[in-house]
Structures are given as structure tokens and as C-alpha cells.
Amino acid sequence: MPATSQRLLGLAAMLVTVTIWASLFISLRQASQSVLTSGDIALLRFLPAALLFGWLSRHRVRHIVSVPKRYLFAIAFGAGLPFYLLAATGMQFAPVADGASLIPGILPLFVSAIAWGVYGESLSVGRRLGIGLIVIGIGAFLWHSLFFSPWSVTQGHFILLAASISWAWFTIGVRVTGLNAAEAGAVLAISAVLLLPVGAISGLISFNLLQAPLGELGYHVLAQGLGVGIIANYSYAFAIRRLGAEMSAAIGAFTPVVAALIAIPVFSETVSTLTVVAMALIVFGAVLASEGIKWRRTQTKSGPQAA
């Protein structure tokens, strides 16, 4: 397929991804006000994806297990259950616009930092300028939360930053392993489902599905299970393979704009001038930082891997 067509498909996949990501933050905010627990939402999110992607990847098990385990861990931890619990906890304290800015919005910063620090990639002047703007935007959020917001909001911001670092490892993990979208989805979803009983036994998560109204369960099955767990996981991994990790992360930085516009009528949230300025700095910085990373890769028996 011509390179232009590949890029167009990647861009279309990222448009779908951004729309679903924005809906994710709305869903997480609603879940924080629901009788459903984080464990319930995680089960509804990951179980359908584990069944679907596991079935699609059933003949690729040898290829998947041949991938260096540190990369599989980056995928499983980066967008699996640990990431979800960080994001869900952070959204209990922070407004939708903040959560959407501090996870996908600053993803290019962490992707570039990992690429530079771990893989030795050089950073151009444009990318450095973009990263600088993202840092200023993050600083504006944290400065406002530290000095003008309740401590709970500040805690939420730091938890969301941790979630963004986690997601950056997932983004790079998908890019360097050579796994296709279904294989990457199987790794993160199946690992999440396997970790749920561990979390329940340890007391870190609990379940309350039987007490939830059917309508609410149906909404989260569609929003989390189908939308985020299956469609967005597939479309984001698909986009990374065709656009690269950096460009995909940069387009994802537009998520806070979409999420904030949805949250205003849904939750009657107000967006302060400082939030608008911080979001603009992060989005513009992400666009500047969107130059493709020239990943060094080698061949293995089963497919391309990072050097």
C-alpha cells in the first residue's frame, strides 16, 4: 500500500482514537460518581478485549512470547490494569479537562524523553521547543493546583502524571516490538484480566457489579468494553504502526480540547482562563514535538525488534 494511503489510514485511526479517549474521561468521571467500583469498570473494559484479541491472536502466541519480556511488560503495565487504576484514581479528584490534558496531552513529552534517554535518539530544535511548551503547560496546571486548589486536586494531578508516564511506555512498547494491533491488545487485555483476581485478593480493588443498575452497566460495557477496550486500543496501535509513536502521541494531545467541550454541558464544568492557556501550550507543544523518531530496529526470528 502506498505510503500516503498508510498515513491517511493512520490519521483516520487517530481521529477515532481521540474521540473515544475524550469519551473515556467522561466515562471515568461518571464512574467516580457511580456505585460501580474501579474493579467493576476494569472488568467491563478488559474482559471483552481479552476475549476478542486473544481469539484473533491465537495463532500468534509463539511470535508474542518471543518478544523480549521487558517490552511485553511495558505494554501490559503501560495501558493495562495498572494504567487504568492510576487514571481512574486521578479522575476522582481532577476535572475532566485536567485529566485529559495530563494524560494524552503530555504523552509526547514522555515519549520523547524515553526515546532520548533509553534509545539515544537526538532531539531537533523544533522538538525541544515543543517539549518546552508542554513543560510550561504542565507547570501551569501544577502551579495552580499547588497554590489555588484543594490538596486533593493536586494529588489527582500527580497521579495523572504517573498515568501518562505509564502510557508512554505502552506507546513505545507497541512501536518497538513489531506486534500488530490485535497482538498488542491481547497482551494488555489478557494481562489485565489475570491481574484482577490478584488485586481483589490483595484488597486493592473490589467489585460491586450486582448492585449496579442494568442501564449503567450497559453504558460502561459500550463506553469502556467496546469503545476503549476494543476499538481505541486497536485504532491507537494501528496508528502507531503507520504514523509512528511521536506523531500518534501528538495527535492524541488534542484529546483535552474535545473532552473539555463535552464536559462543559455534561458536568457543568467551567474551564478557567489558566486551564485554557495551559491546554493551548500543551497542544501546540505536542504538535511541534511530533517529528518522527527514527527507531533503531533489528530483525528477530519472529519479527522486527528494537536494538
User: Three-state secondary structure along 255-302?
Assistant: HHHHHHHHHHHHHCCCCCHHHHHHHHHHHHHHHHCCCCCCCCEEECCC
Mean of pLDDT values over 140-165:
85
User: Is 187 a residue whose pLDDT tops 90?
Assistant: yes
Q: Provide the pLDDT confidence category of residue 301 given band limits of 50, 70 and 90.
A: very low
C-beta separation of 130 from 291 below 8 A: no
Q: How far apart are CA 168 and CA 108, in angstroms?
A: 8
Burial of 15 (0-12, 13-18, 19+ CB in 10 A): middle
Higher-confidence residue of 299 and 257: namely: 257
Number of residues that make up the chain: 307
**Confidence class of residue 146 from pLDDT cuts 50, 70 and 90?**
confident
Mean pLDDT over all residues of the chain? Answer: 82
Residue 290's pLDDT is: 66
Asked if the model's pLDDT at residue 58 lies above 70, the reply is yes
Lookup: cell for 101? 490534558
- State residue 76's pLDDT score: 92
Closest C-alpha to 31, from 101, 105, 106, 84: 84
What is the average pLDDT across 77-83? Answer: 90
Q: Identify the pLDDT of residue 21.
A: 84
CB 105 within 8 A of CB 275: no
Q: What is the pLDDT of residue 299?
A: 37
Whether the Cβ atoms of residue 224 and residue 23 lie closer than 8 Å to each other: no
Give the pTM: 0.75
Minimum mean pLDDT range among 1-5, 14-18, 56-60, 264-268: 1-5
Closest by Cα among 220, 290, 223 to 254:
290
How many angstroms separate the Cα of 284 from the Cα of each of 126, 133, 142, 152? 11, 7, 18, 28
Contact 72, 64 (CB under 8 A): yes
Instruction: Quickly tell me which residue has 519480556 as its cell.
Output: 69
The average pLDDT across 62-80 equals 91
pLDDT at 72 > cutoff 80 = yes
Q: What is the structure's pLDDT at 294?
A: 43
Cα Rg of the chain (Å, integer):
18
Integer Cα distance of 154 and 98 in angstroms: 11
What is the per-residue pLDDT for 148?
79
Q: What are the grid coordinates assigned to 9, written together?
A: 489510514
pLDDT, one tens digit per residue, over 241-264 is 888 877 887 788 788 788 888 888
- Ramachandran region of residue 120, left (φ > 0), alpha (ψ -120 to 50) or beta? left
Please give the DSSP secondary-structure letter assigned to residue 306.
E
Whether the CB-CB separation of 162 and 99 falls below 8 Å is answered with no
The pLDDT, as a whole number, for residue 138 is 83
Grid coordinates belonging to 135: 513543560
